[in-house]
């Protein structure tokens, strides 16, 4: 995603996130406390079941249980925001103590499975951190998961003028805490220091206030 596509997606996502965060700015879950993270309407962890880069089924809930899980929807041909977000996460993890880093799982879901085969996806993620999990699946399934997590669904491919194509998508990294809920997200533009502070505090924080948790269905 580049140019206007990037700006549109970022604005659409961060506008919703910031609006929701305004009422919680005075407590420990505020954007200031979390080092630049933005409070969002609480989102229950999705029952996300896709395929990892080894060709094995991956159950997001089961695989990340008890850890802070960072979930991002993007694609490897993205010229700007995707590599920036992954580089920021990887850089922050390298600055954290091992005991903190081991409590964080990073999961990247491609919205471009047509080009992001297992080998390409694995090689691309390894440029940032070999522990990052890469998942693939049909665009319809992935968009359904995005809708369930209040993330802007990926747009249809648009020609890039060079024989390829780009895709609009969300720039936000969702952070699921140990209560299997996302209370915060890291939009594009969070500083490296903000990432470090935010991840450190997410690992250290206990469960958030009841008022911030998602209501059960029905």
Model pLDDT for residues 201-212, shown as the tens digit of each residue: 999 876 555 544
- Would you say residue 214 lies in a domain? no
Query: Does the pLDDT value for residue 166 go beyond 70?
Result: yes
What pLDDT is recorded for position 19?
36
- Would you say residue 145 lies in a domain? yes
Query: 35 burial class (0-12, 13-18, 19+ CB within 10 angstroms)?
Result: buried
What pLDDT is recorded for position 18?
38
Token pair for 185: 């997200």
Query: 154 burial class (0-12, 13-18, 19+ CB within 10 angstroms)?
Result: buried
Hunting for tokens 């659409």 — which residue is that?
12
- Would you say residue 195 lies in a domain? yes
CATH of the domain at 135: 3.40.30.10
How many CA atoms within 13 Å lie on the side-chain side of 170? 27
57-59/158-159 β-pairing = unpaired
- Would you say residue 62 lies in a domain? yes
- The stretch 145-170 carries a mean pLDDT of 81
Share of the chain above pLDDT 70, in %: 78
> Looking at the 3D structure of the chain, how many domains does it have?
1
- Would you say residue 188 lies in a domain? yes
- Would you say residue 20 lies in a domain? yes
Query: Does the pLDDT value for residue 177 go beyond 80?
Result: yes
Domain range for 154 is: 3-205
Q: How far apart are CA 218 and CA 205, in angstroms?
A: 29
**Distance of alpha carbon 179 from the chain centroid:** 17
- The stretch 3-9 carries a mean pLDDT of 40
What pLDDT is recorded for position 23?
39
- Would you say residue 218 lies in a domain? no
Do residues 105 and 66 lie in contact, with contact meaning Cβ atoms separated by under 8 Å? no
- Would you say residue 211 lies in a domain? no
> What's the chain's average pLDDT?
81
Closest by CA position to 69, among listed 193, 156, 190, 179: 179
What pLDDT is recorded for position 209?
56
- The stretch 72-96 carries a mean pLDDT of 95
Task: Give per-residue pLDDT as tens, 88-141.
Answer: 999 999 999 999 999 999 999 999 999 999 999 999 999 999 999 999 998 889
Helices 81-95 and 3-21, packing angle to 10 deg: 50
- The stretch 59-82 carries a mean pLDDT of 94
Query: Does the pLDDT value for residue 5 go beyond 50?
Result: no
56: pLDDT confidence band, cut at 50, 70 and 90?
very high
Q: What is the largest CA-CA distance in the chain?
A: 51
What do you get for the CA distance between the two ends of the chain, in Å? 37
What pLDDT is recorded for position 27?
62
Query: Does the pLDDT value for residue 53 go beyond 90?
Result: yes
How many CA atoms within 13 Å lie on the side-chain side of 153? 12
Token pair for 147: 């809708």
Query: Does the pLDDT value for residue 11 go beyond 80?
Result: no
Q: Which of 2-16, 112-126, 181-195 has the lowest mean pLDDT?
A: 2-16
């Amino acid at each position: 995603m580049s140019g206007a596509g990037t700006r549109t997606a970022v604005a659409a996502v961060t506008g919703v996130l910031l609006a929701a965060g305004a009422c919680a700015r005075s407590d420990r879950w505020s954007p200031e406390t979390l080092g630049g993270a933005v409070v969002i309407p609480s989102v229950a962890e999705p029952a996300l079941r896709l395929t990892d880069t080894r060709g094995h089924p991956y159950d997001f809930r089961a695989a990340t249980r008890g850890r802070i899980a960072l979930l991002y929807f993007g694609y490897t041909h993205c010229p700007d925001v995707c590599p920036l977000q992954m580089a920021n996460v990887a850089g922050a993890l390298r600055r954290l103590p091992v005991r903190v880093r081991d409590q964080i799982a990073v999961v990247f879901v491609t919205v471009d499975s047509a080009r992001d085969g297992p080998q390409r996806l694995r090689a691309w993620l390894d440029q940032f951190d070999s522990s990052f999990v890469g998942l693939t699946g049909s665009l319809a399934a992935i968009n359904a998961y995005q809708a369930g997590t209040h993330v802007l669904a990926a747009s249809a491919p648009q020609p890039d003028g060079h024989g390829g194509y780009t895709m609009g998508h969300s720039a936000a990294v969702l952070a699921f805490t140990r209560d299997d809920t996302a209370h915060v997200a890291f939009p594009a533009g969070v500083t490296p220091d903000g990432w470090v502070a935010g991840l450190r505090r997410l690992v250290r924080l206990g469960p958030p206030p009841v008022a911030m948790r998602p209501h059960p269905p029905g």
